[in-house]
Amino acid sequence: MDITRMPIGFFDSGVGGLSVLKEAIKILPNEDFIYYGDSKNAPYGTKKVDEVKKLTFDAVKVLLGYNVKAIVVACNTATSAAIEDLRNTYKDMPIIGIEPALKPAVELSGEGKIVIMATNMTLAEKKFNKLMSKYKDKCDIVSLPCTGLVEYIEKGIVEGEKLKEFLVEKLSILDKDKIASVVLGCTHYPFIKKELYSILGDEVVIIDGSFGTANQLKRKLIKSNSINKKNKKGKITILNSLKDDEIIKISKKLLCI
């Protein structure tokens, strides 16, 4: 089979990775994408590392069944827990992960505080701590675990009073006037940017890693000569472990299709 015509696989613990897929579609509009969300087992951020690894490998096996040419692990928690093991297991498959976009935040922060919103597991993993140690002497960086936030977004709740109250409570431990930037360290979180801006103000820079991950995918495809050269818009297939029509509707709404 012509590798250029093969689809690209995307995986997340639920609907969050759609924020990364959105960026990938913008820069790779001719590609076919297969998105697999494991909403049945969401959230991953409160689980043990070994369980997340198993779930991640199971999801990758699902995508491999569709003869994909590359896989994007569009989940910060799964990336932290399993990306190295995945690459060691599937050496011939381009596997792209995602990590908190701390570098651009450091470059933009100036004198202010950088807040990293993420799941408990992402913040606890050595991959993240290695990233933190690289920049902690350059800026004032604060980690903010956001247990419970993924559950709102999995239900399609990305704005409204209940969500705003939840976010205000989470952010209440911080001095909002000293925040220069917020790094969204979970792919679910870009969907609630609007509410974050309403709480923190438009002067705060909110950054996520979806753009960088999508561009890394493009670089990998160019390097392997597997870019789809057809002149028509690609097909998007959404799968979910819940096997429920409602989660597919939520996914399509978040993806704007």
12 assigned binding-site residue: yes
Active site residue 256: no
Per the CB < 8 A criterion, the answer to whether 80 and 98 are in contact is: no
9 assigned binding-site residue: no
* Helix 76-89 with 49-64: angle, nearest 10 deg: 60
32 assigned binding-site residue: no
Closest CA to 198 of 175, 167, 174: 167
Choose the catalytic residue: 75, 139, 146, 256. 75
79 assigned binding-site residue: no
Cα→Cα distances 169→201, 212, 225, Å: 16, 30, 48
- CA angle, 255 as apex, 252 and 257 as ends, to 5°? 60
Strand 95-96, strand 140-145: pairing: unpaired
13 assigned binding-site residue: yes
187 assigned binding-site residue: yes
Active site residue 139: no
Closest CA to 75 of 59, 99, 48: 99
Which residue numbers belong to the known binding site for substrate? 12-13, 44-45, 76-77, 187-188
Known binding-site residue numbers: 12-13, 44-45, 76-77, 187-188
Residues acting as catalytic residues: 75, 186
